[in-house]
Structure 1
Amino acid sequence: MGLYPAKWKMTHLYKQSLLIICAALWLLPAQAQSKAPRFCVLALAENGGHHIAYSKAARIWLNQLAADSSFAIDYIQNTDSLDAHYLEKYQLFIQLDYPPYAWKPRAVQAFEKYINTGQGGWIGFHHATLLGEFDGYPMWQWFHGFMGGIRFVNYIPGFADGTVKVEDAQHPVMKGLPANFTIEKEEWYTYDKSPRPNVHVIASVDESSYVPASDKKMGDHPVIWTNPHYKARNIYIFMGHSPALFNNTAYTTIFRNAIFWAAGRM
């Protein structure tokens, strides 16, 4: 018989085991949090307006993708704090729902440098081609060139379904996409001209496929493109106003591919 009763030894061993298990469980989150993200993303979206439902759905989807794919994402709702120093942290800038006007002067300078020098990648949705004179602001001439020299003219306020045709199936952002896919309830902006001569078109919408039919057409109608004249990896994706888009597998595939391509991870 030992120095301590057997019952005491069992209790002591049980307590020690519990302490080891608790210590291990306590350390696991700390170890997970200390792991550096693969890359950092900044997303800009207005905190209001009739597209707020899209931005809220996008945030849920993006947060889940970030958690699953080990990247970090931050959100801002205006450009007040945006400057060159602020952007140093980020390998990707997503203009989720924000037009190219009303930016603070420091933000304009920082963003132009970010794209011109290839400091990081850029994905723009929907409002990024709201180019013209709006709310008393002049058109941002640099952004006008960045988007292929187009000016906003009109849109379909009652919405229409449309068939998007992939033109460059070899582009990484189109990986896993069918040759054609449907986008429902979209506004389909029209411009004063097609951006095609100044950009590389990846996909366009077939205006004859609109349901209901609309007379708001421009003939050649690109809806996804990249501008190879800028050092940063960049892609504009027109579709981005309805939260229902996140139930569309084609759309979420494009969005996911665009993130990893523009961030230089594919």
Structure 2
Amino acid sequence: MASRRSLLTFFLAALLLTAPTTLHAQAPPRSFRVLAIAEKGGIHRPFVDAAIVWLAKEAVLDHFTIDYIEDTTPIDDEYLSHYKLFLQLNYPPYMWTPTAAAAFHRYIEEGRGGWIGFHHATLLGTFDGYEMDPWFYRFMGSIRFKSYIPTFATATVTVEDPTHPVMKGVPTTFLIDREEWYTYDTTPRPNVRVLATVDEKTYTPDTPIKMGGDHPVVWTNEHVKARNLYIFMGHRSDHFSNPAFTTIFHNAILWASQ
């Protein structure tokens, strides 16, 4: 009888010891808020519209809420303090108010939240009467926009850094259909951690508009505190039917918002 009581005591103690772990494992995932700034219209609007649809589903899966703005007028330090992640959905690196630009710089430099930028975020130079922002120029790896493929080209992207969390579950190579690949005056590689490059030899149809070898298309700048990722691909809505593209975007949201 005594041995039975001892055995029962042992099992009760074991249950109490394991209960906190079980309860912790069943705790709901953290929730967070995301801010997305998107172009109002024009040629990039189909990508933005597709992103909004995809992000609505992703928000449910990954437990976040998302707000959208179409210009930088609301942005200041207090406004950004409510968000763990800032998405730049093809909004260019100019047309920012001075207050918004300064608040964004602090947000990134001090690691107040994460950032994911797409495509148009590297349109660096003098455009629409706006001079290039020197801070954004450095943030994007000290590159200046040079040209692009207006007729679009299909090409193979090669994952260069498969160990990075953003590349988890992404094939070593994958096809991006009909993108208007940008070229820059130089590669950002000396100033950023390159995660993927486009193989210019695979451009279909072929084009003379090339970087000439090293052409990064996904990278992160590790010289700032904020987790950040630039994804060049972002002109066409069809990218949201590409599992490699959506896996990178999904991974980036979870990683950059930490």
Which of the five TM-score ranges fits, normalised by the shorter chain?
0.7 to 0.9
CA distance in 1, matches of 2:67, 2:88: 12
TM-score, scaled relative to structure 1: 0.85
Unaligned runs of 5+ in 2: 1-27
> Among residues 30, 45, 49, which one is paired with 1:52 in the alignment?
45
Q: Which residue of 1 aligns with 2:240?
A: 246
Determine whether 1:100 maps to 2:93. Answer: yes
SS in 1 for 2:235: coil
Q: Which residue of 1 aligns with 2:205?
A: 212
CA distance in 1, matches of 2:188, 2:43: 27
Asked whether the equivalents of residues 37 and 72 of structure 1 are also in contact (C-alpha less than 8 Å), the reply is: no
Runs of 4+ in 1 over 6 A off after TM superposition: none
Asked whether the equivalents of residues 160 and 184 of structure 1 are also in contact (C-alpha less than 8 Å), the reply is: yes
Aligned pairs for 1:36-185 within 5 A: 38-185=31-178
Q: Which residue of 2 aligns with 1:255?
A: 249
Q: Over residues 140-198 of structure 1, what are the superposed CA-to-partner deviations in whole Å (9 max), with x where a residue is unaligned?
A: 00000000000000000000001000000000000001110000010110000000011
Q: CA deviation at 1:37?
A: 6.2
Q: Which residue of 2 aligns with 1:232?
A: 226
Q: CA deviation at 1:46?
A: 1.1
Q: CA deviation at 1:68?
A: 2.2
CA distance in 2, matches of 1:36, 1:257: 16
Opposite residue 124 of structure 2, the aligned amino acid is L
CA distance in 1, matches of 2:30, 2:91: 26
SS in 1 for 2:255: helix
Q: Over residues 82-120 of structure 1, what are the superposed CA-to-partner deviations in whole Å (9 max), with x where a residue is unaligned?
A: 111100100000001200001011100100000010000
Asked whether the equivalents of residues 118 and 233 of structure 1 are also in contact (C-alpha less than 8 Å), the reply is: yes
Opposite residue 68 of structure 1, the aligned amino acid is L
Q: Which residue of 2 aligns with 1:9?
A: none
CA distance in 2, matches of 1:171, 1:36: 22
CA distance in 2, matches of 1:40, 1:241: 25
**Percent sequence identity over matched residues?**
60
CA distance in 2, matches of 1:165, 1:172: 16
Unaligned runs of 5+ in 1: 1-34
- Name the CA shift for 1:134/1:37 in 2 (closer, same or farther; >3 Å): same
TM-score, scaled relative to structure 2: 0.88
CA distance in 2, matches of 1:37, 1:231: 21
SS in 1 for 2:78: helix
CA distance in 2, matches of 1:80, 1:229: 27
CA distance in 2, matches of 1:245, 1:92: 21
SS in 2 for 1:206: strand
